[in-house]
Amino acid sequence: MKGTGATTLRAAGDTAFFALDDQGILFCEARQELHLLDAAASYVWCSVEDGVPAAQIVSGYAEACGLSFAEAERLVGGLLQRWCGLGYIEGDGPPPETIDLTTALGRLLVNPGLRRSFAAAPDETARRLGLRGTDRKAFLALDPAQLDVQALSMAEQRRRLRQTKLLFDHGATRSLGPRVLSGKSFTPAVERCWRLCDTTIRLRCDTAAQDELVRLSLLHLEAGSDAEADLTLDVVEGRRGHAVLRDGALVGYCDRLDQLARVIIVLIRDLVLDRTDYFFMLHAAVLSNGAACAVLPAAPGSGKSTLAAALARSGFQFFTDEIAILERDRLRARPFPLPTVVKEGAVGVLRPYYPALPGMPVSRRDNDQPVRYLPPPPDAMPADAEPGRPVRWIVFPQYEATAETRLRPLPAGAALSRLMAECKVVTADLDRANVAALVDWLRQVDCYELTVSSLPDAVALMRALCLPVRRRSSRRRTATGSP
Amino acid sequence: MTDTGVGYRQELSLWIDGRPPYLDFLEVPAEDFVRPELQNRLAALAATYPLAVRSRDLSLGTPGPLDADRLNRLAALAAVVDPLWVSEWIAFSRTGEVDLACAAPVRPDESTVDLIAEHAQEVADRCGVPLLLETVASHLRIPGTMAEPEFLNRLCATSGCGLLLDVTALFVNSRNHGFDPHLWLREIDPPHIRQLHISGFSRAGDRWEDRHGRRIQRDIWELAEAALAHAPVRGAILEYDLAFPAVQAIEIELRVLKAARGRAA
Give tens-digit pLDDT for A235-279.
988 766 788 888 776 777 787 889 899 889 988 988 888 888 888
B161-180 in b/e form (b: 16+ CB < 10 A) is: bbbbbbbbbbbbbbbbeeee
Tell me how close the Cα of A332 comes to any Cα of chain B, in angstroms. 28
With contacts defined as CB-CB under 8 Å, which chain A residues touch B249? 177
* Residue contact A300–B242, C-beta within 8 A: no
Candidates B44, B92, B241; nearest CB to A366: B44
**What's chain A's average pLDDT?**
84
Q: Is the pTM of this model over 0.90?
A: no
- CA distances in angstroms from B13 to A252, A408, B44, B45, listed in the order given: 9, 40, 12, 10
Contacts of A138 in chain B (CB under 8 A): 107, 142-144
Query: Per-residue pLDDT for A436 more than 60?
Result: yes
Residues A110, B100: C-beta atoms closer than 8 Å: yes
Contact A172 B10 (CB under 8 A): yes
Residue A381 scores a pLDDT above 90 = yes
Report the SS3 class of residue A246. Answer: strand
Judged by CB atoms closer than 8 Å, whether chains meet at B141 and A143 is answered as yes
CA distance B99 to A162: 13
The minimum CA-CA distance between A239 and chain B, rounded to whole Å, is 12
Residue numbers in B near A162 (CB within 8 A)? 101
Q: Extract the runs of DSSP E, i.e. beta strands, from A255-321.
A: 280-288, 293-297, 317-320
Position B139, amino acid: H
CB B210 within 8 A of CB B201: yes
Contact check, Cβ <8 Å, B246/A178: yes
**Taking CB atoms and an 8 Å cutoff, what residues of chain A touch B243?**
175
Q: How confident is the model at residue A427 (pLDDT cuts 50, 70, 90)?
A: low
* Nearest-Cα residue of chain B relative to residue A111: B98
DSSP single-letter state for residue B129: S
B219 vs A36: CA distance, rounded Å: 47
Interface contact flag, A367 B13, Cβ < 8 Å: no
Interface ipTM: 0.92
- CA distance linking residue A177 with residue A192, whole number of Å: 25
pLDDT tens digits for range B214-228: 788 999 999 999 999
Q: Which residues contact B167 (CB under 8 A, 6 or more apart)?
A: B196, B197, B198, B220, B223, B224, B227
Q: How far is it, in rounded angstroms, from Cα B251 to Cα A386?
A: 45
| Model pLDDT for residues A177-232, shown as the tens digit of each residue | 333 344 456 788 999 999 998 899 999 999 999 999 899 999 999 987 778 899 99
Does the pLDDT at position B146 exceed 80?
yes
- In DSSP terms, which residues pair with A233 in a beta bridge? A203
Report CB contact under 8 Å: B37, A367: yes
Q: CA end-to-end span of chain B, whole Å? A: 8
CA distances from A88 to A81, A151, A237, A420 (A): 10, 16, 58, 21
How many percent of chain B have pLDDT more than 70?
Answer: 98
Could you tell me which chain A residue has the CA closest to the CA of B94?
Answer: A106
- What per-residue confidence (pLDDT) applies to A479? 35
Nearest to A367 among B32, B41, B141 (CB): B41
Instruction: Provide the number of CB pairs (under 8 Å) joining chain A to chain B.
Output: 138
Which CA distances in Å does B141 have to A307, A416, B90, B261? 54, 39, 13, 32
Amino acid present at A375: P
pLDDT at residue number A424 = 66
Q: Verify whether the Cβ–Cβ distance B35 to A101 is below 8 Å.
A: no
Residue with the larger pLDDT of the pair A359 and B21: A359
Collect all residues with Cβ–Cβ distance below 8 Å to B105 and sequence separation of at least 6: B91, B136, B138, B140, B141, B142
Q: Are A149 and B141 in contact (CB under 8 A)?
A: no
B77/B95 Cα distance (integer angstroms)? 24
Mark B223-246 as b/e (b = at least 16 C-beta within 10 Å).
bbbbbbebbebbbbbbbbeeebbb
What is the H or E stretch that residue A25 is in? strand A23-28
What are residue B70's phi and psi, to 5 degrees? -65, -40
